[in-house]
Amino acid sequence: MARSLLLFVLCALPVLSSAWRKGNPFLIKGRVYCDTCRCGFETRKTTYIPGARVRIECRDRTSAELKYRSAGNVTDGSGTYHIVVEGDQEDRICHTVLVSSPLHDCKVADPGRNRAQVILTRSNGAVSDLHFANAMGFFKDKALPGCDKLLKELLQDV
Ligand SMILES: *[C@@H]1O[C@H](CO)[C@@H](O)[C@H](O)[C@H]1NC(C)=O
């Protein structure tokens, strides 16, 4: 008993200490929306999509080669997702990316909002494990009634 415990400790220690050096995993949080006005940004008519699939990809800064791809995850009832990333991605360029939408009439990713950059390194002095990504969106097939009026109002406020 004591012996197997000792063995366990001896085997587990190196694993634990390398995990310690790398720091806690990062937790990335963001939302996925349906752009119901097809305007490229969130408005008060925007809805959030439960069950949308996203993942994180990191590429080499110079070659753009894919170096890391997280497991996918899906958004909860409020359209919010969480993705855990183990390990420091150093100077790689990392994005959360849209994978799919469960809505048949809102499943074409907005090319301007289909990814959001996330910083997954502590070499820049970041201390928090929780990082927020900008929201990403799919276009509704047809803009909702009232969007013209809403967009006119928004433009007047600029
Ligand atoms: C997926 O999301 C759930 C709930 O938000 C979270 O508990 C889980 O750790 C996530 N999975 C991954 C692989 O990030």
pLDDT digit string (tens) for 76-97?
Answer: 999 999 999 988 999 999 999 9
Q: What is the mean pLDDT of residues 22-42?
A: 93
CATH of the domain at 74: 2.60.40.10
pLDDT tens per residue across span 105-138: 999 999 999 999 999 998 878 788 999 999 999 9
Closest C-alpha to ligand 1, atom 6: 82
Please list every protein residue whose CB sits less than 6 Å from any atom of ligand 1.
Answer: 71, 73, 82-84
Whole-model pTM? 0.83
Does residue 51 belong to any structural domain of this protein?
yes
Does residue 17 belong to any structural domain of this protein?
no
Q: Which of 54, 68, 73 to mutate to test the pocket of ligand 1 (most atoms within 8 A of CB)?
A: 73
Does residue 16 belong to any structural domain of this protein?
no
Please identify, by atom number, the ligand 1 atom nearest to the C-alpha of residue 72: 13
Q: How far is 6 from 70, CA to CA, in rounded Å?
A: 34
144: domain range? 23-156
Task: Report the Cα–Cα distance between both ends of the chain, in Å, rounded.
Answer: 72
Of 41, 52, 48, the closest CA to residue 147 belongs to: 41
Does residue 13 belong to any structural domain of this protein?
no
Number of domains comprising the chain: 1
What is the CA(40)–ligand 1 centre distance, in A?
Answer: 28
